C-alpha cells in the first residue's frame, strides 16, 4: 500500500491539469494539505504507518524537501517523492530558453530529492535519467 502521506495544495500541479483538460471545479485545499503546514505531514505519516502502509509519498517534491526529510527520518518503510509536472516544466522551460543546462539541472533536481530522503522518485524524466544516474 502506497500512502499519499503528504499531498500539498500546490500550484505545481497546473501543467498536468492543463494537459488532461481538467474541468474539476472547487477548492482542492479541502482535501490537500496546506503548504505552510509541515507538521500535518508528520501526523499523517504516523497514522499511515500505524494503518500498515508499505510506502509513504510526498507530493510535490522540490518545494517540500524539508517535509520529505522529516517524513523519511520518521519512517520505517520506504519513502517516495513525486516530482510533479510543474517542477518538470520549470526545468524544461528554462533549458529551452537557454537559461540552464538541461541534463545538469535534471540530475541536480533528482539528486536533491534523493538526498532529502526519497528512496524512490516518481518523475517524468525517469526513462531518460535512468541512463545518467548511478543505481
- Considering 59, 84, 87, 116, which one is annotated as catalytic? 59
pLDDT of residue 90: 94
pLDDT of residue 28: 56
* Rounded Cα–Cα distance for residues 13 and 41 (Å): 18
97 within a domain of the structure (yes/no)? yes
- Tell me the residue range of the domain where 69 lies: 2-130
122 within a domain of the structure (yes/no)? yes
Residue 4, phi then psi, degrees to nearest 5? -75, 75
Active site residue 95: no
* Rounded Cα–Cα distance for residues 1 and 38 (Å): 23
- Do 37 and 89 form a contact (C-beta atoms < 8 A)? no
Q: How far is CA 41 from CA 24, 38, 84, 92, in A?
A: 25, 6, 18, 29
121 within a domain of the structure (yes/no)? yes
- Considering 3, 7, 13, 72, which one is annotated as catalytic? 7
pLDDT at 23 over 60: no
* Rounded Cα–Cα distance for residues 128 and 39 (Å): 34
Count of domains for the chain:
1
Q: Is the model more confident about 98 or about 27?
A: 98
107 within a domain of the structure (yes/no)? yes
42 within a domain of the structure (yes/no)? yes
pLDDT, mean of residues 20-34: 60
Q: What is the CATH number of the domain that holds 87?
A: 3.20.20.70
pLDDT at 45 over 90: yes
78 within a domain of the structure (yes/no)? yes
Global pTM value: 0.85
pLDDT of residue 24: 58
With residues binned 3-state (H G I as helix, E B as strand, rest as coil), the percentages for the chain, rounded to 5, are 50, 15, 35
Active site residue 79: no
87 bridge partner residues: none
pLDDT in tens, 61-83: 999 999 999 999 999 999 999 99
Amino acid at each position: 500500500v502506497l500512502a499519499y502521506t503528504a499531498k500539498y495544495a500546490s500550484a505545481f500541479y497546473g501543467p498536468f491539469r492543463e494537459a488532461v483538460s481538467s474541468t474539476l471545479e472547487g477548492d482542492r485545499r479541502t482535501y490537500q494539505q496546506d503548504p505552510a503546514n509541515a507538521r500535518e505531514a508528520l501526523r499523517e505519516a504516523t497514522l499511515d504507518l500505524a494503518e500498515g502502509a508499505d510506502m509513504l509519498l510526498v507530493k510535490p517534491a522540490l518545494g517540500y524537501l524539508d517535509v520529505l526529510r522529516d517524513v523519511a527520518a520518521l519512517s520505517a518503510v520506504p519513502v517516495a517523492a513525486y516530482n510533479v509536472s510543474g517542477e518538470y516544466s520549470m526545468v524544461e522551460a528554462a533549458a529551452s530558453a537557454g537559461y540552464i543546462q538541461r541534463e545538469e539541472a535534471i540530475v541536480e533536481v533528482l539528486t536533491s530529492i534523493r538526498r532529502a530522503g526519497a528512496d524512490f522518485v516518481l518523475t517524468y524524466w525517469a526513462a531518460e535519467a535512468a541512463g545518467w544516474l548511478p543505481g
